[in-house]
Chain A
Amino acid sequence: MPVQFDRGTLCVRGANGSSPAIRTTEPVLIHWPAVAAAGTLALLLVAGFTLAAWLVGRSTGVGRDQALIRGETNKLATTDELVQPAQRISAELAQPDRVEPSEIQGAGSLDPALHKAALDYLDGAVSSSPVITDEGLAFVCRPLTDPTGHTQVSDRCETFGTHVRFVRTPTEAATLAQRDRKLVFLPQISGNFEDQRFT
């Protein structure tokens, strides 16, 4: 049976539009199905807005975190914390083949005038030099081996008729010095150190 609103009164008409079978004169203040539908719709809207706000907030939060990380990384990249160790490691691995005197100018935050004066004094440019590597070194000390046969850094060395103990390479000397909290003594020579006639 269809239900129709009729000027504030609730009329229940017959299927063929005949006179109402039931008629009440009480005014209808709340139509509960409509209220329920509107409430449901409102709840859905609130939930939707809440979800949208949460998603937007989460998205901007991640962006902010990423921006912070980028900012911190950029700050690190301008400090010694990141750059110098990276450069040092890179330099150690690269072991530059050629060294130009002009590279002294990259030796740090030097007084430019003083630095220039020093270089000028030393007569500036030097012709290119050949590659200097550890391969050019004599094999001074036999490396120690552990019980498994792995080679270890040698702490035995030869003296070549001096009172100084020499390890076989500057690299090994540096490793031992780091380990033993010592400094490195490195004579650079022309000639063959191990042959006194050539030293």
Chain B
Amino acid sequence: MNALADERVGDYLNEHFVSSYQKVGTFRIVNGEKQGGNVASYFLTPDRRVLHVVAGPANADTLLREARWVVEIYKAAQLNTTDDPDALKSFFRKAHAHRLKKEHKLDVSANEEWEPRRALNTAGKVHLLLTAAPLVKLERVYQVVFENILGETISTDPVDSAGAE
């Protein structure tokens, strides 16, 4: 979580977000080495709808860029959709679809073959997921993000340090 130690990231997150955290997985420490473990950083509405996810570790510039994108898109959505939840959902669907097309060369509006999606990286998978299910509730999607995108296992087990030196 080194990105969170960056002052710019901290200032921006503290200004626009209320932060908390949640443990959803664990890892093993074998001979002093950490095995497994990951992070998915969610940007949510106050009613826990997922606006965006940064899946996996990210550096400060990436996390800051994604946080800014969320805030700006959310502001634009509010300006254009007032309080209509369906319109807000549609707005974010388009926003994710736009980034999917622009950054990952996958146009979900075109009737192209879906085979190229296999080449998507983690960020592309997130955009694809949130294009399909924009503003989905966190409890409905966190498992897919953690297990299917990050390849981790959901667990409430404590960190296993039995093999630690």
Residues of chain A at the chain B interface (Cβ within 8 Å):
80, 84, 88, 91, 95-96, 99-101, 103-104, 106-111, 114-115, 117-123, 126-127, 129-132, 136-138, 140, 157, 159, 161-170, 172-178, 180, 182-193, 198-199
> For residue B158, which residues in chain A have a CB less than 8 angstroms away from its CB?
192
- In the complex, what's the smallest C-beta–C-beta distance from B77 to chain A, in angstroms? 12
Interface string of B38-57 (1 = CB under 8 A from A): 11111111111001000000
Most buried by B among A99, A101, A167: A99
Partner of B117, one of A117, A186, A198: A117
B46 touching A191 by the CB < 8 A rule?
no
Cα of A88 to Cα of B42 in the assembled complex, Å: 20
Cα of A130 to Cα of B25 in the assembled complex, Å: 10
B43 touching A107 by the CB < 8 A rule?
no
> For residue A161, which residues in chain B have a CB less than 8 angstroms away from its CB?
5
Nearest chain A residue, comparing its CB with the CB of B136:
A107
B156 touching A136 by the CB < 8 A rule?
yes
The 27 sampled A-B contact pairs (Cβ below 8 Å) are A95-B139, A110-B132, A118-B132, A121-B118, A132-B142, A132-B156, A137-B23, A157-B19, A162-B1, A163-B7, A170-B48, A173-B19, A177-B18, A177-B46, A178-B46, A182-B16, A182-B46, A183-B18, A183-B71, A184-B20, A185-B19, A185-B41, A185-B43, A187-B39, A188-B142, A190-B36, A191-B37
- In the complex, what's the smallest C-beta–C-beta distance from B79 to chain A, in angstroms? 14
Nearest chain A residue, comparing its CB with the CB of B42:
A186
Partner of A186, one of B5, B9, B11, B22: B22
A176 touching B133 by the CB < 8 A rule?
no
Most buried by B among A127, A129, A138: A129
> For residue B70, which residues in chain A have a CB less than 8 angstroms away from its CB?
183
> For residue B69, which residues in chain A have a CB less than 8 angstroms away from its CB?
none
A109 touching B86 by the CB < 8 A rule?
yes
